[in-house]
Each structure stands twice: as structure tokens, then as C-alpha cells.
Amino acid sequence: SVYPNPSRGQFKCKGIDPNRQISAVIYSLTGQQIKSIQNLNEQSTIEIENKGVYFITFYENGTPIGKTKVVVE
């Protein structure tokens, strides 16, 4: 999971298995890729600069494993 949500642009990840290679891609509401992050872990910070609503898709070895919506205030 991603917290806090909503946020002012910095999110943390919770529940990531350290033995798995997890990456994330952040998309705008229109589907535009904003950022890609490799090797996520529970110490990783996901930063999004502009206010708005975004979708974060999580991947393991290129396969989508989850998706969440986040809000930057």
C-alpha cells in the first residue's frame, strides 16, 4: 500500500517483500507516464511534484501486480 494518501507529494510504500524486485510507474489521469521507479522497498519515497490525481502501477519482472490511486494536494 501507499501512504499517506492524500499527500503533499511524498509517498511511502508498505508491505513490499524485500525478496521481490518491484518497480512502479506513475501515470496521470490521462494515461501519460510521469515517472518510473526501479527496485522499490519500504524505505523508498515516491515523489510527485504537481498537484493532482495519479495512478501508480506496480510491477514484478515487468508483470503488473497492483494499481493504486494517489492524490497530491
8: phi > 0 → left, psi -120 to 50 → alpha, else beta; which?
alpha
Sign of CA dihedral 26, 16, 9, 67: positive
pLDDT score of 42 = 87
Is residue 23 very low, low, confident or very high in pLDDT (cuts 50, 70, 90)? very high
Check whether 1 has a pLDDT greater than 90: no
47-54 mean pLDDT: 96
- pTM here is 0.92
For residues 19 and 40, is the Cβ–Cβ distance under 8 A? no
Tell me: the pLDDT tens digits for 5-21?
A: 999 999 999 888 889 99
Q: Which three cell numbers mark 66?
A: 497492483
Average per-residue pLDDT in the chain? 95
For residues 46 and 11, is the Cβ–Cβ distance under 8 A? yes
For residues 57 and 70, is the Cβ–Cβ distance under 8 A? no
